[in-house]
């Protein structure tokens, strides 16, 4: 007698279902994707008991004929693929023909549907994978799928479900993200007692972000205008201009201002061809874009859309379709990085006083976001969960500027409670109340209704930092200055650091940086590992103005160093560079190495704090800063300037 037995089809069905249907949110994801694939313009998701008791998704898509409605529950039955070749260029969200049978095998399912061609609709009832009945039914063109008693026949899986609130949080996160990916569609999520999301169709992503997260979110974001380029190296401009879509990719979306610093990657959402994915390549491109703008160990927030020809992406690599593979990886990576860098440097985002108050990573809520699915941990903040404006971007409180205890605005925060009804009642368009007490809502709606909507002020900073007139220093460390944009405080050390960093890097890229000979060579003892590193990067050191030669078995002699660094700082500079390379485990690109050397050199050469400066020097420094590409943060990512805008001043004095 053998102990091994072949599983019955029924059991095999359930095992596969385990992969596709992990929790209620996976059901919502599959049904929502089906509705979008069916061309729906409006999708309503209703949920009871965290999705355990009921999930109902209603769409106004193409619907199914009587025969299709039955076929849809066969394994590997799909209308979206015909041949293996089609797998190479998947343009729909679904393609496996797995979702409906998998869901049907672990729940009580009711499908009601009608295609435009048929007068009579169809109603199919299935329980635990068994067909209970098929009847004609009245239904408008489109489809309603109702899932009751999820996992009723798979107790083990049911046991693993978290509280209703947590499961609803996951569902809200899924629906929210699809809503962001499809601004032109009406998307709703409700429970019997709450309308969690109700987003009417809008034209732009900016409007959708506003509907979903509120105005403050937009203030914290930088627009990444649609940037298109070739999909691989050997495509000519002429081919692109000829408008062949198969050759082009586009990056667009929103990324956060550098001062918005998150402790993890949970506020980063990447959509490839409108599909939400986890992708390490693009996460890396994003991190690269923020290099020397944000300190290491913190992360931006992002809503990133990459659109490229379907044959350039393989989506058939993960059972829940959450990972993808690119045909031209390096190209996609570099193109995305450059588009984001451009957006960052074009926007030159400047920290406002209040934002800066929340900029320190320690000040951001720290509450794990996990795609918006976890409730806040109030204990982490001494009992009160800090509100966060944009799926927990930062615990930005807008009270700093007014100096009074203005309560922070209580807008949508996935990190705190993604499903809070009061946080998500958008009141948009005109019928509802304006979101969280701001007059911007009214202006915004008025503008939208007049079809005059301009993206909100996030990208409007431009060159506002120019023409700064210094008034004096605070503590001999911070320059106070004014211009027509408002009142500014500039950290003199980091401002100078930014200036020197860009100058040094530019000089290095143009050729070699001039070194300055030391009067007496400096002998520096190094560890064996550091000696090896010094040897490995010797060429780059010398291109940066260093002259370093071995001196016995344990030391090097420094004969020359980058010009602006004074002798007492030279040893520390070299050690810092070697340490930085050591930390990177030597897998460091030449670009990163150059940036690190430039950053360290700039830091050691820059004016220190506690240094009195006369007005011409202050003026010079502010002028040089205005010329930099990225005046808002130092090469290590700390803020350089704070601005108290005229509008904020007026507001604080209650003049608006």
Ligand X SMILES: Nc1ncnc2c1ncn2[C@@H]1O[C@H](COP(=O)(O)OP(=O)(O)OP(=O)(O)O)[C@@H](O)[C@H]1O
Shortest CB 19 distance to ligand X, Å: 11
Nearer to Mg ion, 100 or 355 (CB): 100
Determine the Cα–Cα distance for residues 335 and 231; give it in Å rounded to an integer. Answer: 9
Nearer to ligand X, 92 or 464 (CB): 92
| Range 115-144, binding ligand X (CB under 6 A) | 143
Nearer to Mg ion, 66 or 321 (CB): 321
Nearer to ligand X, 36 or 293 (CB): 36
Residue, CB closest to ligand X? 94
299: DSSP letter: B
How many angstroms separate the Cα of 70 from the Cα of each of 83, 132, 149, 584? 21, 12, 21, 57
The answer to whether 605 contacts ligand X (rule: CB under 6 A) is no
Shortest CB 199 distance to ligand X, Å: 19
The answer to whether 28 contacts ligand X (rule: CB under 6 A) is no
Shortest CB 649 distance to ligand X, Å: 53
Nearer to ligand X, 108 or 337 (CB): 108
Nearer to ligand X, 141 or 399 (CB): 141
Closest CA to 360 of 411, 397, 390, 413: 397
φ, ψ of residue 488 in degrees (nearest 5): -130, 145
Shortest CB 64 distance to ligand X, Å: 5
Residue 608 tokens, joined: 């220190």
Determine the Cα–Cα distance for residues 546 and 559; give it in Å rounded to an integer. Answer: 7
Number of shown-chain residues binding ligand X (CB under 6 A) = 22
Burial 448-486 (b: 16+ CB within 10 A, else e): beeeebebbebbebeebbeebebeebeeebbbebebebb
Containing H/E element for 217? helix 215-219
The answer to whether 219 contacts ligand X (rule: CB under 6 A) is no
| Range 330-359, binding ligand X (CB under 6 A) | none
Exactly one of 14, 66, 98, 448 binds ligand X (CB under 6 A); which one? 98
Q: Is the CB of residue 355 less than 8 Å from the CB of residue 390?
A: no
Half-sphere CA count of 493, side-chain side, radius 13 A: 14
Starting from the edge strand earliest in sequence, which strands make up the sheet with 515-525, in order?
A: 515-525, 555-562, 547-551
Candidate ranges 7-15, 60-68, 296-304, 624-632; the one touching ligand X (CB under 6 A): 60-68
Return the number of other C-beta atoms located less than 10 Å from residue 597's C-beta.
Answer: 28
Exactly one of 27, 28, 32, 35 binds ligand X (CB under 6 A); which one? 35
Shortest CB 38 distance to ligand X, Å: 3
Task: Give which of Mg ion, ligand X, none residue 95 binds (C-beta under 5 to 8 Å, depending on kind).
Answer: ligand X
| Range 263-292, binding ligand X (CB under 6 A) | none
Shortest CB 28 distance to ligand X, Å: 13
> Which residues bind to Mg ion, rule: CB under 5 A?
34, 94, 99
Nearer to ligand X, 37 or 497 (CB): 37
Burial 322-349 (b: 16+ CB within 10 A, else e): eebebebeebbbebbbbbbbebbbbbbb
Exactly one of 72, 127, 417, 558 binds ligand X (CB under 6 A); which one? 72
Q: Is the CB of residue 331 less than 8 Å from the CB of residue 231?
A: yes
Q: Is the CB of residue 327 less than 8 Å from the CB of residue 311?
A: yes
Nearer to Mg ion, 99 or 607 (CB): 99
Nearer to Mg ion, 32 or 154 (CB): 32
Determine the Cα–Cα distance for residues 91 and 251; give it in Å rounded to an integer. Answer: 18
Exactly one of 13, 26, 34, 107 binds ligand X (CB under 6 A); which one? 34
Closest CA to 489 of 509, 507, 468: 468
Task: Give which of Mg ion, ligand X, none residue 63 binds (C-beta under 5 to 8 Å, depending on kind).
Answer: ligand X
The answer to whether 576 contacts ligand X (rule: CB under 6 A) is no
The residue written with tokens 């927030």 in the block is 301
Nearer to ligand X, 96 or 498 (CB): 96
Shortest CB 94 distance to Mg ion, Å: 3
The residue written with tokens 């290590």 in the block is 636
Task: Give which of ligand X, Mg ion, none residue 62 binds (C-beta under 5 to 8 Å, depending on kind).
Answer: ligand X
The DSSP string of 1-38 is --S--PPPHHHHHHHHHHHH-SSHHHHHHHHHHHHHHT
Shortest CB 113 distance to Mg ion, Å: 14
Exactly one of 80, 157, 162, 328 binds ligand X (CB under 6 A); which one? 80
Exactly one of 24, 50, 51, 94 binds ligand X (CB under 6 A); which one? 94
Residues within the interface to ligand X (CB under 6 A): 30, 34-35, 38, 59, 61-64, 72, 77-80, 94-100, 143
């Amino acid at each position: 007698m053998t102990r091994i037995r072949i599983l019955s089809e029924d059991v095999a069905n359930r095992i596969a279902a385990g992969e596709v249907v992990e929790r209620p949110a996976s059901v919502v994801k599959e049904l929502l994707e089906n509705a979008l694939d069916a061309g729906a313009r409006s999708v309503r998701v209703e949920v009871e008991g965290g999705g355990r008791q009921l999930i109902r998704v209603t769409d106004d898509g193409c619907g199914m004929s009587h025969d299709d409605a039955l076929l849809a529950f066969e394994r590997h039955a799909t209308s979206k693929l015909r041949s293996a070749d089609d797998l190479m260029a998947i343009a729909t969200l679904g393609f496996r023909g797995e979702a409906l049978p998998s869901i049907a095998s672990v729940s009580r399912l009711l499908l009601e549907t009608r295609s435009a061609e048929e007068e009579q609709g169809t109603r199919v009832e299935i329980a635990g994978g068994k067909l209970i009945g098929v009847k004609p039914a009245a239904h408008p063109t489109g489809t309603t799928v109702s899932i009751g008693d999820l996992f009723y026949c798979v107790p083990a899986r049911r046991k693993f479900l978290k509280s209703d609130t947590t499961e609803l949080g996951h569902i809200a996160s899924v629906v929210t993200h699809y809503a962001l990916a499809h601004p032109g569609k009406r998307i709703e999520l409700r429970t019997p007692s709450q309308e969690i999301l109700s987003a009417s169709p809008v034209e732009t992503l900016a409007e959708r972000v506003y509907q979903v997260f509120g105005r403050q979110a937009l203030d914290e974001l930088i627009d990444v205008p649609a940037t298109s380029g070739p999909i691989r190296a050997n495509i000519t401009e002429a081919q692109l201009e000829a408008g062949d879509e198969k050759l082009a990719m586009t990056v667009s979306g929103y990324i956060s201002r550098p001062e918005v610093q998150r402790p993890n990657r949970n506020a980063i959402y990447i959509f490839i061809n409108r599909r939400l994915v986890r992708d390490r390549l693009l996460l890396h491109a994003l991190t690269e874009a923020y290099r020397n703008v944000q300190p290491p160990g913190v992360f931006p927030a992002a809503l990133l859309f990459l659109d490229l020809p379907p044959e350039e992406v393989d989506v058939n690599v993960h059972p829940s379709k959450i990972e993808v593979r690119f045909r031209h990886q390096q190209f996609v990576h570099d193109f995305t990085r450059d588009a984001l860098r451009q957006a960052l440097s074009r926007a030159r985002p400047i920290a406002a006083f209040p934002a800066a108050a929340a900029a320190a990573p320690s000040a951001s809520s720290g509450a794990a976001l996990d795609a918006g699915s976890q409730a806040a941990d109030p204990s982490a903040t001494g009992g009160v969960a800090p509100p966060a404006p944009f799926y927990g971007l930062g615990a930005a409180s807008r009270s700093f500027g007014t100096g009074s205890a203005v309560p922070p605005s209580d807008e949508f925060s996935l990190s705190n409670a993604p499903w809070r009804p009061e946080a998500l009642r958008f009141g948009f368009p005109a019928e509802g109340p304006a979101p969280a007490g701001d007059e911007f809502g009214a202006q915004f709606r008025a503008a939208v209704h007049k079809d005059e909507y301009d993206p909100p002020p996030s990208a409007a900073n431009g060159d506002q930092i120019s023409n700064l007139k210094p008034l004096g220093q605070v503590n001999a460390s911070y320059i106070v200055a004014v211009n027509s944009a408002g009142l500014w405080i500039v950290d003199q050390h980091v401002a100078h650091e930014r200036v020197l960093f860009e100058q040094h890097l530019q000089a290095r890229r143009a050729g070699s940086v001039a070194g300055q000979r030391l009067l007496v060579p400096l002998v520096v003892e190094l560890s064996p590992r550091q000696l090896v590193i010094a040897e490995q990067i010797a060429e780059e050191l010398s291109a940066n103005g260093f002259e370093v030669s071995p001196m016995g078995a344990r030391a090097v002699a420094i004969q020359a160093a980058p010009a602006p660094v004074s002798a007492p700082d030279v040893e520390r500079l070299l050690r810092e560079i070697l340490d930085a390379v050591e930390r990177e485990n030597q897998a460091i690109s030449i670009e990163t190495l150059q940036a690190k050397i430039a950053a360290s050199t700039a830091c050691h050469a820059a004016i220190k704090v506690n240094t009195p400066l006369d007005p011409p020097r202050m003026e010079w420094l502010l002028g040089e800063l205005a010329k930099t590409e990225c005046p808002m943060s130092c090469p290590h990512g700390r803020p350089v300037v704070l601005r108290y805008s005229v509008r904020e001043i007026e507001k604080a004095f209650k003049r608006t």
